Structure 1
Amino acid sequence: MSTTRVKAGKELPEVYTKLVEIGELVETVIDRDIHELVKLRASYLNGCAFCVDLHSNDALKAGESQQRLFLVGAWREAGSLFTEAERAVLALVDEATKLGEHGVTDEVYENVAKHFSEKEVAALIMAIGLINFYNRLGVSTGMTPPKR
């Protein structure tokens, strides 16, 4: 990337602080492992290398397996490596991230609702919206992952 881009968190730290607070509130409602899958899948879909790197490392530190992390990008073909509930969430992430003409289908929504309470579904939708916002910040400002 040849153009130096703004560091949004540095320029508007008060906004970034509120985003972090939203994420923390969401995580009081949904399981951390599910939340990491949400963040990772949306980041793959949005092509945010910084967020893919960050959330895959966070998930590894929290005990997630490398195999499952590698397969988030191809979750539909991963067989039983993801539970029914996780697969329902990943389908919701796909449709809510790539809204298109039809948004989230009733089938996908009803499948998530079978596995989660209304409060959890609300938190999942908010978590998806939040990571999509972060991805857009990361991609638009040219954030890249650090070398490890």
Structure 2
Amino acid sequence: MQSRMNSPAMIVPEAIQALQALGKALFESAEKTGVPSRTLFLAYLRTSQINGDSVCVDLHSRNAMAAGVQVEKLLAVAAWRETPHFTDAERAALGLSESITRLSDRTDPVPDEIYTEAVRHYEEQALATLIAGIATANLWNRFNVSTRQIVNVSVE
């Protein structure tokens, strides 16, 4: 397998700088507002699974484990509704992640039920952080998928 080209984020210097600053700001906001980094990584992982971005699936899986997510939970992210591994707040974040990622799949992309459940668990700035993080993960996924970025690990 071979990439079509380098990621647009890497080719446009101002883009990578802006995205790195955004990522840093989101994790700082998450820390201030009580959104665990584990939750962000799980939401980003689910977004990347849906979008078929192997680079980000690998990255967010590794980051989630480094943040303390157990392997059993990590392996269950794609089937989060059917497993007991997630808290209600994590389920709200995963539901929001799926809705924001699959905007064209329904006439009401982010139904009130999903949004209201997220509001039950996250105050406004925390929710804004989560939404902005999911949107940013989608942006990275689109860069990586459209240019066929490859995970840089060896196969055993």
TM-score by length of 2: 0.88
Secondary structure in structure 1 of the residue aligned to 2:99: helix
Structure 2, unaligned runs of 5 or more: 31-35
Counterpart of 1:51 in structure 2: which amino acid?
Answer: C
Quick one: distance in 1 between partners of 2:100 and 2:37?
19
Instruction: Tell me, in whole angstroms, the C-alpha distance in 2 between the residues paired with 1:2 and 1:50.
Output: 13
Q: Which residue of 2 aligns with 1:121?
A: 127
Do residues 54 (structure 1) and 59 (structure 2) align? yes
Which amino acid counterpart does residue 39 of structure 2 have in structure 1? I
Q: Distance in 1 between matches of 2:11 and 2:50?
A: 27
Secondary structure of 2:64's aligned partner = helix
Distance 1:72 1:144 in 2: 22
Gap change, CA 1:120 and 1:147, over 3 Å in 2: same
Deviates more, 1:61-70 or 1:44-53: 61-70
Query: Which runs of no fewer than 5 residues in structure 1 stay unpaired?
Result: none
Deviates more, 1:6-15 or 1:122-131: 6-15
Q: Is 2:3–2:147's contact at 8 Å kept on the other side of the alignment?
A: no
Q: For residues 1-148 of structure 1, what are the structure 2 equivalents within 5 Å?
A: 1=1, 4-30=4-30, 31-79=36-84, 81-100=85-104, 101-148=107-154
Helix, strand or coil at the partner of 1:114: helix
- 1:3 to partner: Cα distance: 6.7
How many residues align structurally? Answer: 147
Of 109-118 and 13-22, the range deviating more from structure 2? 13-22
* 3-state SS of paired residue (1:29): helix
| Percent identity (aligned) | 35
The alignment yields a C-alpha RMSD, in angstroms, of 1.5
Structure 1 position 61, deviation (Å) = 1.8
Determine helix, strand or coil for the equivalent of 1:27: helix
Cα distance between partner residues in 2 of 1:2 and 1:56: 22
The one-letter amino acid paired with 1:11 is: I
With the length of structure 1 as denominator, give the TM-score of the two structures.
0.93
